[in-house]
Amino acid sequence: MLITFYGVRGSIAAPGPVTAKYGGNTSCVHIRTRAGVNLIFDAGTGIRKLGMQMSGVTEPIFLLLSHGHSDHIQGFPYFDPIYQPDRVINICQGVEGNAAALTNLVEQMDGSNFPVRSQDLPSVLNIVDDPGGCAETQSLSIKRIDLNHPGGGHAYRLEEDGVSVGYITDNELTPPGKPATSYAEWVDFCHGLDLLIHDAQYDEHDMPHKHGWGHSLISQVRQLAVDAQVRNLVMFHHDPMRTDSMLDEIAIENARYFKSKNARIGAWIAAEGLTIELKKRADPKVSTIDLFTQN
């Protein structure tokens, strides 16, 4: 399983010299399974570069939306494969209650907000309610759970040939009021993941002003990784104000924290171009992972 990050920023794109190392594009992650299935998680501005790399092939694409907020859909009109005649794009709108994600994705291409109308695209856009019904193979399974985020949304857990990945963005682990998913349920959902990708947009200085905005504290994500006994963690959906030097400091703090907990967890800060390859383990107690950065 090959996981590549194309957009790692949250809320709004943040280009510039102080974000050049980790990147300023909004959310988009591509996962290519060992069986050759192309899964794209969210369609933020990062999807534009991914589309340039995918335009020369004809394989079907499965786009799994976490939710319909603008930073997760705004790159879709610039995704080259949607302009390929007969290219099949399977779009998962999520379970009942998240139909707004699909509506927002398509309706932004209305001829007014964007010059090309979605109904005039030459590609084939298939709308599916359940990614498991079309993207799953004998070796791949996909599970979902509700996000704690204003307007709702969904997190995903993928498992293939003994390796597992969780994609959880725009999620507040301890929201005010009754959560859609409790912390104990998150621990269960993430338990034993080879790789956890989780929203880590806020730090303690952002609170209490942003409590209820639907994002987690960096410290909470560290604790979740320990409690769920994940093998590797990637912090994702960086605040647009978070500079490269700030993210470097967070990486150092992560290493200190996991060492203090005697937790053998590999921890990374999501960066555009970062690719992680998860391999089937001969020993189920050992996570086999390779990292490299695209040019």
Residues forming a β-bridge with 2: 32, 277
Q: Is the pLDDT of residue 98 over 80?
A: no
Mind listing the domains of the chain with CATH numbers? 2-293 (3.60.15.10)
Question: Is the pTM of the predicted complex or chain greater than 0.75?
Answer: yes
User: What average pLDDT does this structure show over 190-218?
Assistant: 97
Q: What is the pLDDT of residue 288?
A: 62
Q: Rounded to an integer, what distance in angstroms lies between the CA atom of residue 159 and that of residue 172?
A: 24
- Structure token pair of residue 120: 């005039």
Q: Rounded to an integer, what distance in angstroms lies between the CA atom of residue 159 and that of residue 128?
A: 20
Q: Is the pLDDT of residue 190 over 90?
A: yes
Q: What is the pLDDT of residue 55?
A: 85
* pLDDT tens digit sequence for 39-63: 999 999 999 999 999 988 888 899 9
